């Protein structure tokens, strides 16, 4: 009954995401055209062999820009999730394992941060550290993502705390730090990994929304979200700009989402 | 009673922390409201006068405590920009955003709960694969993108509504609801997908439990078991999730409001932050915090009435 | 049990939507929900019948509506129709008597005599009296010891109102003084101008819903030619595509300040596109106090390196009037067209100048741009590309408007910025005064002794011809010293629904709706 089935989701997800990442990595070194090169003659051309995704209002090649933009989006999303996961897990570990007053205080703070509209929080951090460039967006979003990781890992740590083998380790005199790192952390991975895929997708969409609203990334660091907001303004003249950019965002999130599904299926089979 | 007291305490504490953080944040953020209001007409004298008028020169704690005092006595302040009392400015927008969120919530609940339960039938096979893939796709498309497509398709092409022409909520309630409906669709699609997924996995989880297998092996009708026991037990998770969703929708409405040109709370928040209109930002942020805690509390209360085991304040 | 609950939900949903649809169809204006099969027939015939229009604007009027305190151009653009001064501007740029029926100036230019017009009423029905006029002027002249809202009014030595005659005596002559008296005449005993303004114009203010709409209605007791339309609703749509969608769907009848890209999306059969200018100077403004821009050769190199015609073509679809100095064509006699191509696009010359100045390999710089102004962001992007050719690496630094005002404009913390500068009143002096080295508005830190000397002469002379000549010399000074890299006076494209006539362009950032009417 627990025969290992072909995990279609994982395969498909890895395939899609893999191709996109590969394209993006190649795009970091080579693009068919310089993404910022403008050409008055080539404005608003539809998709063709010369320009796979067509050109925009400045005559720039959309395919090259999308490649670069996906790179920016990927970087931001990965960095955001990294910050959220690392700091969030640390917070979750401390509160889940030690409990008590520290737990209460940090959890109240956590709840308050969750109640804080993420856009406001992100905007405030950005205003503090400096406007519009990608590092600040990462910092802002990373902070926004910490609470959810903290909550998820806290439950995991808290439930593991009272299991027999942890109690055993403590009885044997192992230090808290060692217990947390060596014994508990690997077990929380089962919970954190799916949270990371979900978090990644949320990060992509959050960054896209913020850039769309004009408070995220802005030129020259064009991300997919920013490009989509530009594209929206010329939907009638050049629908391909919006369509391809939106498609890219959707594909990226879709691919990672499938990976998440695949991981869950893996979990079910192992369980 | 103790529970109610605890909840109210949490509510107040959250609102105070949030408002304090917002106030503190504005201390650190660059851009001065007086400066922004006067723009390129700012001269040192006019700036000084305006800052005095707005009370910006007082120390931080003095300002915060007077705001807090005002808040608890019902005085939410006056907008720096519009010169109107904040509540009269925000109330119509709150109505609109809440309307849109309720429509969205209704859509989500009505569609995803039955759909989630129904799709629990398939745990493998091609139908399941297609369903899962489609679900992921729905979660992957950003709401503002669907917004562009929906405004275009339903608005311009099919002329079912007029994008950019939001009829007033009081003047034309029905037409407004229709307009909000299209915006709510965009807001709801990803969340419907998420809820279906949650519902399905919860139901499947329940179905796999020992008591179900026992009931079925004893001869109970599968569907009957589903309807009476499984659903009831799944409801708790569903209510919690929907509560969170309700809280998140309000935040997510910001982008959709921009695309559809709906004069709601989210748009006001973004603009007020940009204008450094502190009184408005403070009030909206506190309202949002209140909303989050309120939905959480309602979800908790509902769960407690469904499942008495939760009543003693234990963890679900 | 659950099944019934679910069924109940579904029924409720169906019922609500059915009710919504039914109610919607009966209570909403028929034109907005009725499907239109004929693409070329005017969509908004109902509004023409009701004699009203809906104008789409991209900026909310998010400030005090008190005209003496209004700062944003977008607010003044709308409220222009609500207020009038003793005189008011015409579309040709002249001043005509409004609340005053007659104006005369003494030979020495020191005494202005106004006759109050009979029968002018405020929107609340009260007649305009001398005390209202005195109140309005004093409010702007810094009566209570505070700084004057209009600095030029500080030269008023005395203000006397006798019966219907107002006499203003100045301490020194100022040929541009009259244009300052376009300031709005407000009732002396009314304190709600912030939120419910009252003026004397052809339209009266009805309501403002933040981020939603402003409504003006025709004032029946207007002293002059009454407006044609009964009602004008301004819908605030901050989203660029939203304005286009609004026009296409029939929700809007008129939208100003559109770009070539946007107007291209509109059907020629439904709309006329009128072209005016924004009446501002868009430029790459350089902070003259910061290295390397303190060297005139570097500034000149940038002028040779930036191709303004290229910018107009690429970013603005060819719409726009190139400029060479801080003055735009609407100023007529003051505008010196010959300065426009003083700096041709010459990459070699640019590199030469840079080498001379000590930067043979170019340098890096930042361009701070207010991120909410797409035209300026677009322009900056083109400039970055153009500057690459001369070896200058420019990075765009987008900032929020609030930060731009406090850091760039007031704090002068920037290297260069792309922005449009206008004159809030129709005086050449307003455009040029800011570059005088001690001016509080000299955000580019321009410091040129010759310029300052010329300015001192210009404000002290009463001879119009001489003053005009001096102003032109000042413009030339700015160009020759490459104070900034001047680009253009941006085009103002207005989409007007077919059937709506009477649009006139003013040399100011205003939209005169009193002249608009539906064709019979």
Distance in Å from the first CA to the final CA of chain C: 65
Answer whether C350's CB lies under 8 Å from C380's CB: no
Enumerate residues 375 to 434 of chain C having a beta carbon within 8 A of any beta carbon in chain B.
Answer: 400-403, 405-407, 409-410, 424
What pLDDT shows up at residue C519? 86
What pLDDT shows up at residue A127? 64
Q: Which chains touch A (3 or more CB pairs under 8 A)?
A: B, C
**Can you tell me the mean pLDDT for C341-357?**
93
C211 in B contact zone (CB under 8 Å): yes
Name the residue with tokens 């005390």: C131
pLDDT of A98-120, one tens digit each?
777 888 888 777 777 777 767 66
Q: By percentage, how much of chain C surpasses pLDDT 90?
A: 50
Cross-chain Cβ contact A124/B285 below 8 Å: no
Tokens read off for A115: 């109640």
Cross-chain Cβ contact C372/A38 below 8 Å: no
pLDDT of B25-44, one tens digit each?
777 776 677 877 776 666 77
C21 in B contact zone (CB under 8 Å): yes
For residues C67 and C69, give the distance between their C-alpha atoms in angstroms, rounded to a whole number. Answer: 5
- Asked whether residue C18 carries a pLDDT value surpassing 50, the answer given is no
CA A87 to chain C, closest CA, distance in angstroms equals: 29
Q: By percentage, how much of chain C surpasses pLDDT 70?
A: 90
**Can you tell me the mean pLDDT for C83-110?**
90
| For chain A, domain boundaries | 2-270
Tokens read off for C88: 């008011």
Tokens read off for B274: 């940009």
Answer whether B54's CB lies under 8 Å from A155's CB: no
Partners of B239 on chain C (C-beta within 8 Å) are: none
Q: By percentage, how much of chain B surpasses pLDDT 70?
A: 94
What pLDDT shows up at residue C23? 33
pLDDT of B252-275, one tens digit each?
888 888 888 889 998 888 888 878
Mean pLDDT of chain C: 85
Partners of C377 on chain A (C-beta within 8 Å) are: 218-219
- Asked whether residue C11 carries a pLDDT value surpassing 60, the answer given is no
Among C9, C195, C248, the residue with its CB nearest the CB of B156 is: C248
- Asked whether residue B198 carries a pLDDT value surpassing 80, the answer given is yes
pLDDT of C70-84, one tens digit each?
878 889 899 999 999
What pLDDT shows up at residue C363? 92
- Asked whether residue C37 carries a pLDDT value surpassing 60, the answer given is no
- Asked whether residue B65 carries a pLDDT value surpassing 60, the answer given is yes
A141 in B contact zone (CB under 8 Å): no
- Asked whether residue B309 carries a pLDDT value surpassing 80, the answer given is no
What pLDDT shows up at residue A119? 67
Cross-chain Cβ contact C374/A233 below 8 Å: yes
pLDDT tier at C30 (50, 70, 90 boundaries)? very low
pLDDT of A150-206, one tens digit each?
888 887 777 777 777 777 777 887 777 777 677 777 777 777 888 888 889 888 888
pLDDT tier at C112 (50, 70, 90 boundaries)? very high
**Can you tell me the mean pLDDT for B202-230?**
75
For residues B86 and B95, give the distance between their C-alpha atoms in angstroms, rounded to a whole number. Answer: 14
> What CATH superfamily classification does A2-270 receive?
MetI-like (1.10.3720.10)
DSSP letters for C450-475: HHHHHHHHHHH---HHHHHHHHHHHH
Tokens read off for B125: 């096979």
Percentages helix, strand, coil for chain A, rounded to the nearest 5? 75, 0, 25
Answer whether C196's CB lies under 8 Å from C212's CB: no
- Asked whether residue A40 carries a pLDDT value surpassing 90, the answer given is no
pLDDT tier at C264 (50, 70, 90 boundaries)? confident
What pLDDT shows up at residue A43? 82
What pLDDT shows up at residue A271? 58
Cross-chain Cβ contact B165/C372 below 8 Å: no
What pLDDT shows up at residue B239? 85
Task: Quote the pTM value.
Answer: 0.81
pLDDT tier at C21 (50, 70, 90 boundaries)? very low
B312: DSSP letter: G
How many contacts, defined by CB atoms under 8 Å, are there between B and C? 186
Partners of A122 on chain C (C-beta within 8 Å) are: none
Tokens read off for B246: 């309700």
Among B13, B142, B285, the residue with its CB nearest the CB of A117 is: B285
- Return the axis-axis angle of helices A100-115 and A134-161, rounded to nearest 10°: 140
Report phi then psi at C221, rounded to 5: -95, 30
A4 in B contact zone (CB under 8 Å): no
A120 in B contact zone (CB under 8 Å): yes
Mean pLDDT of chain B: 82
**Cα atoms in the 13 Å half-sphere on the side-chain side of B121:** 9
Partners of C8 on chain B (C-beta within 8 Å) are: none
Chain A interface, best mutation among C237, C239, C241, C408, by max A CB count within 10 A: C241
Cross-chain Cβ contact A38/C385 below 8 Å: yes
Enumerate residues 139 to 158 of chain B having a beta carbon within 8 A of any beta carbon in chain C.
Answer: 148, 151-152, 155-156, 158
What pLDDT shows up at residue C308? 94
CA A68 to chain C, closest CA, distance in angstroms equals: 16
Q: Which residues make Cβ contacts (< 8 Å) with residue A239, sequence separation at least 6?
A: none
Top pLDDT among C40 and A107 is at: A107
pLDDT of C139-183, one tens digit each?
888 766 666 778 778 888 888 988 899 999 998 888 788 888 999
CA C368 to chain A, closest CA, distance in angstroms equals: 11
């Amino acid at each position: 009954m627990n025969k290992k089935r072909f995990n279609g989701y994982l395969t498909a997800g890895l395939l899609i995401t893999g191709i996109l990442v590969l394209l993006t990595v190649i795009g970091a070194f080579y693009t068919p055209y310089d993404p910022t090169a403008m050409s008055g003659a080539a404005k608003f051309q539809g998709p063709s062999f010369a320009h796979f995704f067509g050109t925009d209002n400045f005559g720039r090649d959309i395919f090259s820009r999308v490649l670069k933009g996906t790179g920016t989006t990927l970087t931001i999303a990965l960095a955001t999730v990294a910050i959220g996961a690392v700091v969030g897990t640390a917070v979750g570990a401390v509160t889940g394992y030690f409990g008590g007053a520290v737990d209460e205080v940090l959890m109240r703070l956590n709840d308050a941060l969750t109640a804080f509209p993420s856009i406001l929080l992100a905007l405030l951090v950005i205003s503090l550290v400096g406007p519009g460039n990608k590092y600040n967006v990462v910092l802002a979003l990373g902070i926004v993502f910490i609470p959810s990781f903290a909550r998820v890992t806290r439950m995991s740590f808290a439930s593991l705390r009272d299991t027999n083998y942890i109690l055993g380790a403590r009885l044997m005199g192992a230090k808290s730090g060692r217990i947390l790192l060596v014994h508990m952390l690997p077990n929380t991975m089962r919970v954190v990994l799916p949270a990371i895929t979900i978090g990644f997708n949320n990060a992509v969409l959050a960054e896209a929304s913020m850039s769309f609203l004009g408070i995220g990334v802005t030129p020259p660091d064009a991300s997919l979200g920013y490009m989509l907001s530009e594209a929206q303004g010329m939907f009638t003249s050049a629908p391909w700009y919006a369509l391809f950019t939106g498609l890219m965002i959707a594909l990226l999130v879709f691919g990672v989402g499938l990976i998440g599904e695949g991981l869950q299926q893996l979990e079910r089979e192992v369980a | 009673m103790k529970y109610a007291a605890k909840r109210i305490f949490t509510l107040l504490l959250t609102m105070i922390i949030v408002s304090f953080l917002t106030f503190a944040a504005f201390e650190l953020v660059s851009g001065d409201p007086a400066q922004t209001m006067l723009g390129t007409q700012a001269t040192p004298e006019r700036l000084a006068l305006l800052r005095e008028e707005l009370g910006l020169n007082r120390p931080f704690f003095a300002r915060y405590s007077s705001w807090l005092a005002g808040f608890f006595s019902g005085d939410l302040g006056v907008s720096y920009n519009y010169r109107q009392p904040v509540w009269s400015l925000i109330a119509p927008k709150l109505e609109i955003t809440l309307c849109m969120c309720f429509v969205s919530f209704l859509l989500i609940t009505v569609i995803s709960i039955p759909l989630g339960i129904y799709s629990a039938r398939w745990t493998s096979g091609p139908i399941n694969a297609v369903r899962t893939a489609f679900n992921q796709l729905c979660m992957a498309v950003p709401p503002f993108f669907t917004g562009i497509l929906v405004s275009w398709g339903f608005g311009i092409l099919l002329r079912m509504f007029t994008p950019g022409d939001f009829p007033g909520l009081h003047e034309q309630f029905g037409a407004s609801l229709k307009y909000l409906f299209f915006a709510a669709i965009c807001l709801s699609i990803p969340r419907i997908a998420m809820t279906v997924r949650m519902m399905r996995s919860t139901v499947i989880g329940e179905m796999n439990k020992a008591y179900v297998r026992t009931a079925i092996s004893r001869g109970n009708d599968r569907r009957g078991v589903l309807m009476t026991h499984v659903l009831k037990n799944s409801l708790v998770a569903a209510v919690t999730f929907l509560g969170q969703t309700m809280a998140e929708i309000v935040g997510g409405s910001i982008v959709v409001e921009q695309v559809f040109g709906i004069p709601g709370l989210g748009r006001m928040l973004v603009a007020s932050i940009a204008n450094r209109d502190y009184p408005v930002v403070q009030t909206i942020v506190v309202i949002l915090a209140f909303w989050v805690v309120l939905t959480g509390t309602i979800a908790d209360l509902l769960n407690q009435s469904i499942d008495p085991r939760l009543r003693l304040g234990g963890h679900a | 049990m659950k099944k019934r609950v679910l069924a109940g939900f579904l029924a409720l949903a169906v019922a609500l939507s059915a009710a919504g649809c039914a109610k919607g169809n009966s209570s909403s204006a028929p034109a907005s929900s009725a499907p239109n099969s004929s693409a070329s027939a005017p969509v908004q015939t109902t509004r023409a019948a009701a004699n009203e229009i809906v104008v789409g604007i991209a900026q909310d009027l998010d400030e005090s509506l008190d005209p003496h305190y209004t700062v944003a151009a977008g607010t003044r653009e709308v409220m222009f129709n609500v207020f009038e001064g003793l005189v008011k501007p015409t579309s040709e740029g002249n001043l005509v008597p409004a609340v005053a029926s007659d104006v005369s100036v003494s030979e020495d230019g020191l005494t202005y005599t106004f006759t109050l017009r009979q029968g002018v009423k405020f929107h609340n029905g009260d007649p305009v009296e001398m005390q209202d006029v005195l109140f309005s002027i004093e409010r702007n002249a810094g009566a209570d010891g505070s700084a004057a809202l209009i600095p030029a009014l500080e030269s008023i030595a005395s203000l006397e109102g006798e019966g219907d005659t107002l006499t203003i005596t100045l301490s020194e002559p100022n040929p541009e003084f009259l244009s300052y008296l376009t300031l709005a005449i407000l009732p002396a005993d009314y304190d709600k101008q912030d939120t419910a303004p009252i003026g004397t114009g052809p339209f009266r203010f009805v309501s403002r819903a933040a981020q939603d709409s402003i409504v003006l209605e025709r004032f029946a007791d207007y002293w002059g030619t009454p407006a044609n339309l009964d009602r004008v609703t301004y819908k605030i749509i901050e989203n660029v595509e939203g304005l286009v969608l609004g026009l296409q769907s029939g929700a809007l009848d008129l939208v100003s300040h559109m770009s070539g890209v946007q107007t291209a999306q509109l059907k020629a059969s439904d709309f006329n596109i009128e072209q005016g200018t924004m009446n501002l100077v868009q430029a790459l403004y350089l902070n003259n106090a910061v290295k390397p821009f303190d060297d005139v050769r570097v500034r000149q190199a940038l002028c040779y390196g930036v191709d303004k015609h290229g910018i107009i073509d690429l970013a603005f679809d060819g719409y726009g009037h190139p400029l060479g100095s801080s003055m735009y064509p609407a100023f007529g006699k003051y505008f010196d067209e010959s300065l426009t191509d003083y700096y041709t696009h010459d990459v070699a010359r640019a590199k030469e100048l840079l080498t001379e100045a000590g930067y043979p390999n170019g340098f890096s710089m930042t361009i701070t741009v207010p991120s909410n102004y797409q035209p300026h962001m677009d322009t900056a992007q083109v400039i970055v590309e153009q500057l690459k050719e001369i070896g200058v690496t420019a990075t765009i630094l987008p900032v929020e408007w609030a930060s731009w005002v406090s850091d760039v404009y007031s704090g002068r913390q920037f290297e260069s910025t792309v922005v449009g500068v206008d004159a809030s009143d129709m005086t050449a002096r307003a455009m040029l005064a800011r570059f005088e080295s001690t001016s509080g508005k000299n955000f580019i830190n321009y410091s040129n002794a010759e310029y300052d000397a010329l300015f001192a002469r210009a404000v002290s002379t009463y001879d119009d011809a001489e003053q005009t000549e001096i102003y032109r010399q000042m413009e030339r000074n700015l160009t020759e010293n490459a104070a900034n890299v001047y680009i253009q006076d941006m085009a103002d494209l207005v989409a007007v629904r077919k059937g709506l006539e009477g649009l006139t362009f003013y040399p100011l950032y205003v939209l005169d709706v009193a002249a608009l009417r539906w064709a019979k």
